Structure 1
């Protein structure tokens, strides 16, 4: 297996991880900044970026975090970088029923126009400050940092469209058929934007 080192900018998250350390063997856990990692050059086989590319709203800061990920990777190391889809707010608001909330409408309009999500209401249901990528923007940012982009994948496949998903998932035959459908289109670029989250896989 691999030695896993956890870096998070939120102290509470590190505390929560430590409280579960007995169930999940993690070599080290520390509060840190994706833009200034303490790890040595070429010390990692893989880097999982689960947060920096959407919580850093300035493209220069996202670029810095990607360069740091590249620095700590060994030659040929793999990056897994998560992003939130440009259309995530639209999907969430339609599914949750607040798409016509007068407080949310201007938030959504800015999301769709700029990808810059700003919750000016302090209502936690509307998420926090973030940047939402189009698939092509994510690929371009990763490539600009010097990576070879291997693949973009949707994190949420079309299975979430299934009526009564919980019932379908509990039925073994229906579950297998659903997974077959998802696998059939998981590499289809035209469907990437329909996922609320994206994953870029790239090589140093």
Structure 2
């Protein structure tokens, strides 16, 4: 049985629609397009096997399968897996990032787009990375997403919601990385610094680890843009994100990071 934090399970099953997250806002579209761009930069050729751990309803598995990859999606939320299974171009199963059913050295690429920020305990994140390394063939690619330590602060600041009264809400997250379940907001999570995410990859034994900012400094602008303005804003935002993706001075203005390592 998958051991998932009940608050996280309830968040995705009852409070949050994951299936359209990357299309319903300008920021979601920016995150999706940049994630595709970065992942495609590192992927082996079509025909390779991809394990999409924490793949939710299949938003990434869908385009990977369309690109010619043999994809298996794993997610701890049964409702997500049921939705993903209906797509029909890839396999989908319920599972836990910390205890994968796949055999050793059985896939070419393992994606962790979610597990590392919902496993709030460092030992659990280390176990998920160890499992990703175990199932990925030597020399294969492992990619994991992390939420920036400053994401919530940037979102509130750009919404006009940051004040002396609301600032204490971010003190714990800024100091410890921990985000606690908010019935009107996000659920339990861990927010990373870029160098911290890189260190977790290095400690798990991956080679050639690289951490890149996904959305860049325009993330908050796209988050609050009017839908009609998004098509005009996106090309500039993507170019800006690309130019500063590995600049340590500004990469934390991205809401998300992607870490790339070799098994």
* TM norm. shorter chain > 0.5: yes
Residue 211 of structure 2 corresponds to residue 144 of structure 1? no
Distance (whole Å) between structure 2 residues aligned to residue 18 and residue 49 of structure 1: 19
Distance (whole Å) between structure 2 residues aligned to residue 87 and residue 175 of structure 1: 22
Residue 85 of structure 2 corresponds to residue 18 of structure 1? yes
In structure 2, the CA distance between the partners of 1:13 and 1:161, relative to structure 1 (3 Å rule), is closer
TM-score (structure 1 length as normaliser): 0.85
Is there any run of 5+ residues in structure 2 with no aligned partner, and where?
1-67
Residue 167 of structure 2 corresponds to residue 108 of structure 1? no
Aligned 8 A contact 2:216 2:240 in 1: no
In structure 2, the CA distance between the partners of 1:177 and 1:94, relative to structure 1 (3 Å rule), is closer
Indicate which of 36, 46, 49 corresponds to 2:112.
49
In structure 2, the CA distance between the partners of 1:166 and 1:188, relative to structure 1 (3 Å rule), is farther
- Which residue number in structure 1 is paired with residue 135 of structure 2? 72
- Which residue number in structure 2 is paired with residue 94 of structure 1? 157
- Which residue number in structure 2 is paired with residue 170 of structure 1? 231
Residue 74 of structure 2 corresponds to residue 7 of structure 1? yes
Distance (whole Å) between structure 2 residues aligned to residue 76 and residue 49 of structure 1: 17
Distance (whole Å) between structure 1 residues aligned to residue 209 and residue 110 of structure 2: 14
Count of aligned residue pairs for this structure pair: 194
Structure with greater contact order relative to length (CA < 8 Å, sep ≥ 6): 1
- Report Cα offsets for 1:85-136 as digits up to 9, x if no partner: 111110122223433495x5443110111111113xx4232x0011101111
Is there any run of 5+ residues in structure 1 with no aligned partner, and where?
none
Indicate which of 124, 147, 152 corresponds to 2:184.
124
TM-score (structure 2 length as normaliser): 0.67
- Report Cα offsets for 1:147-191 as digits up to 9, x if no partner: 0143211111223366868666534xx765554443322231222
Structure (1 or 2) with the larger CA radius of gyration: 1
Q: C-alpha root-mean-square deviation of aligned residues, in Å?
A: 2.3
In structure 2, the CA distance between the partners of 1:138 and 1:178, relative to structure 1 (3 Å rule), is closer
In structure 2, the CA distance between the partners of 1:180 and 1:113, relative to structure 1 (3 Å rule), is closer
Aligned 8 A contact 2:115 2:125 in 1: yes
Distance (whole Å) between structure 1 residues aligned to residue 164 and residue 183 of structure 2: 12
In structure 2, the CA distance between the partners of 1:47 and 1:123, relative to structure 1 (3 Å rule), is same
3-state SS in 2 of match to 1:113: helix
Alpha-carbon distance, 1:80 to partner: 0.8
